[in-house]
């Protein structure tokens, strides 16, 4: 019986270690390794659409170019996305999105243009 319990614990630990990416350290902001991951690009696309829905305007998502993630009771994402504005000009935006772990619901925390360097 003890051997079975120990085996279950070891297997669970291995599954957890494999399932959790190395960048998912609870509480710490970590760079997103594969910015081209469809999930990350989807988050950026969703953030632009949600911003347009909330604030109006005409932005069209191009791609996520940079990002970090923080594990909390879900996931906080800080992304830099490129989008076309209403005039057809490409602009960069800083976006923060929270995604709940349990139900995958998303909340747009912030959406702002990246400040141009002087």
CATH architecture observed for domain 28-113 = Roll (3.10)
Q: According to the model, what pLDDT value does residue 64 have?
A: 98
Domain boundaries, the chain: 28-113
- Are 78 and 59 in contact, with CB atoms under 8 Å apart? no
Q: What is the pTM of this model?
A: 0.75
CA atoms of 49 and 74, how far apart (whole Å) = 21
64-89 pLDDT, tens digit per residue, is: 999 999 999 999 999 999 999 999 99
pLDDT band at 115 (very low <50, low <70, confident <90, very high): confident
pLDDT band at 37 (very low <50, low <70, confident <90, very high): very high
pLDDT band at 116 (very low <50, low <70, confident <90, very high): low
């Amino acid at each position: 019986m003890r051997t079975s319990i120990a085996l279950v614990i070891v297997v669970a630990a291995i599954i957890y270690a494999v399932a959790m990416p190395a960048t998912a350290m609870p509480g710490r902001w970590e760079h997103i390794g594969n910015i081209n991951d469809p999930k990350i690009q989807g988050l950026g696309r969703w953030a632009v659409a949600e911003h347009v829905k909330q604030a109006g305007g005409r932005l069209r998502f191009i791609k996520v170019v940079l990002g970090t993630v923080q594990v909390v009771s879900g996931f906080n994402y800080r992304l830099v996305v490129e989008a076309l504005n209403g005039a057809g000009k490409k602009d960069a935006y800083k976006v923060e999105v929270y995604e709940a772990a349990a139900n995958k619901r998303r909340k747009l925390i912030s959406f702002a243009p990246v400040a141009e360097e002087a």
